[in-house]
Structure 1
Amino acid sequence: MAEPAYPPSTAVLLCPPLGQDLIRSHRLYRQLAHMFVRRGLAVMRFDYYGSGDSCGDADQTTLARCVDDALVAAGELRQRSRCRRLLAFGARLGGSVALQAHDRQPFDALMLCDPILDGVAHRAQLEALHAEMLADTRRFARPRTAAEGAGQWLGFPHGEQFGDELAAMHLSVPPAALLLDSAHVFPRAGNIVALDEPLGWDDLDRLEVAIQSHELIARVQRHMETLQ
């Protein structure tokens, strides 16, 4: 957890995405954390069980446990920072986790970037991208078979429960939440803000390219000013 030099009144929990999205957005989350600390806020970045630097294997990760981990992290952040307000940011499945955690123990504000709301569509997209990647001879000397890539999405193992949870996931965004839309798939309403530059989460040609967006950070910073 990063803390400012004096006790903050507001803290921010950064809920990470999963799989390839986690790797690609690592720098973005680090930049956001530094921006929040410069504004005098306490910030916590963390990894879910089976993801990132946490214990466990990737195929043991479940959405239910990710939500539980986010709630534990939120409680730890509240206790350590003694904040009066707790905000949450999440991109992609990190946004999905933040939304489900919010349903159980509401945050004072939500900031979401391209959150996954339709789990069925996201699962189908992952499977399509994975099949396309296996056939890509720019990455492999020969196309990989479906059997060679079984149980993975874009190089990351996943468990059966995780796939089932995606198939059952249908979420909605509270009207007061900031929703940053880089793919321009959400209607322009309320706090839904279209980013000028697509982040390319589902662009196979950018699979190894870090997600960076000065515009996103500026939008989040501008939104923070409205909350004070």
Structure 2
Amino acid sequence: MSTRSEAEMPFYFGPERALFGLFHASGTSARKAVLLCPPLGQDQIRCHRLYRQLAQALVAEGVAVLRFDYYGTGDSAGDSVDMDWQRCVADTVVAADELRARSGFDRVFAFGARLGASIALATVAQARFAGVVAWDPVLDGRTYVAKLDAMQLALCRDEQRFMVSRKAADAAAQWLGFAISASLRQQILDLHVDRPTVPMLLLDSLSPDAPRALSNSLVDAARTRSLQPPTPWDDPRRLEVAILSHPLIQAVTQHVREAA
């Protein structure tokens, strides 16, 4: 049986060892590995525990896993204002190669939530993913930015958090506590996700009235599964509440297990 240090090995990797990762070695040889691509900002904080639980569930299936942080996020180098879409894409490719080297498995699947799913889909060809599991991916950047702006404004006026409302100008370059650059904002506004060239499982846990903006080409190319209850991604009242979903963990592990 693997010890804790062997099962979850923290390390730095990539150019100038700027990226932080946690490698979960598999106890058996399923000959598969999964790269967990995190979302950005507050979504990453809220999903942290779920990503760890998912990694443990996959390892129990004999699947090697790598969790990592993009440059400017989590425990990687850089500050949140340094987050850049193209750097996230490049970091994901580096992480996929690192997972292959550490696991010895060439078949690497990707899982991502929200913008993490969008990044995984954007790197399919470069990272040579065998498949992607996308949980509520962001496919309409303008709608997503508008929602974050509205949540940021609501946060500034929240009397439960601030005795005196914050001025919008004081937090104009922030999204829910994370500093963002004008370039990242524009990159997300311009977000476009192409039809995947590998098998894809689309996990939909948005509320029934939430805009999905899924293109027909993407839906046609994906196997879609609905998860309940809806995930409160956009509820300002629940920003500090961790996002957990046992149905999601079950769906992902089953999908990877059955993947050819």
Same fold by TM-score greater than 0.5: yes
Give the deviation of 1:105 after TM superposition: 3.3
Q: Name the TM-score, length of structure 2 as normaliser.
A: 0.83
State the SS of the aligned residue for 2:91: helix
Tell me how far 1:84 sits from its aligned partner. 3.2
2:223 is the counterpart of 1:191: yes
Q: Is the 8 A contact 1:112 1:180 kept in 2?
A: yes
Please say if residues 7 and 81 of structure 1, whose CA atoms lie closer than 8 Å, have aligned partners that are also in contact: no
The normalised TM-score by structure 1 is 0.95
Q: Does 1:178 align with 2:201?
A: yes
Partner of 1:212: 244
Following superposition, the deviation at residue 143 of structure 1 comes to 0.8
Provide, for residues 69-100 of structure 1, a one-character-per-residue CA deviation record: whole Å limited to 9, x for no partner: 01000001111111031100000010011011
Displacement of 1:173 after TM fit? 4.9
Alignment of structure 1 residues 11-22 onto 2, 5 Å: 11-22=33-44
Amino acid at match of 2:236: L
Selected match of 1:137 from 159, 184, 189: 159
Contact 1:51 1:57 in 2 (8 A): yes
Q: Tell me the SS of whatever aligns to 1:141.
A: coil
Equivalent of 1:27, from 40, 45, 49? 49
1:104 Cα shift? 2.7
Cα deviation, 1:165-219, whole Å, max 9, x if unaligned, reads 0111121453830010101535886511111211111111111100000111111
Identity between Structure 1 and Structure 2 (%) = 46
1:222 aligns with 2:244: no
Note the aligned Cα RMSD (angstroms).
Answer: 1.6
> Is 2:145 the counterpart of 1:123?
yes
Aligned to 2:172: 150
Farther off after superposition, 218-227 or 86-95:
218-227
Runs of 4 or more above 4 Å deviation: 186-190
**Are 1:38 and 2:70 an aligned pair?**
no
What one-letter code is carried by the residue in structure 2 that aligns with 1:216? L
Tell me which residue corresponds to 1:202: 234
AA of the residue aligned to 1:210: A
Pairwise CA distance, 1:8: 4.5
Structure 2, unmatched stretches of 5+, are 1-22
Unaligned ranges ≥5, structure 1: none
How many residue pairs get matched?
228
Report the more deviating stretch, 43-52 or 94-103: 94-103
Tell me if 1:59 matches 2:91: no
**What are the equivalent positions in structure 2 for 1:100-119 lying under 5 Å apart?**
100-119=122-141
Answer whether contact 1:8 1:81 (CA < 8 A) is retained: no
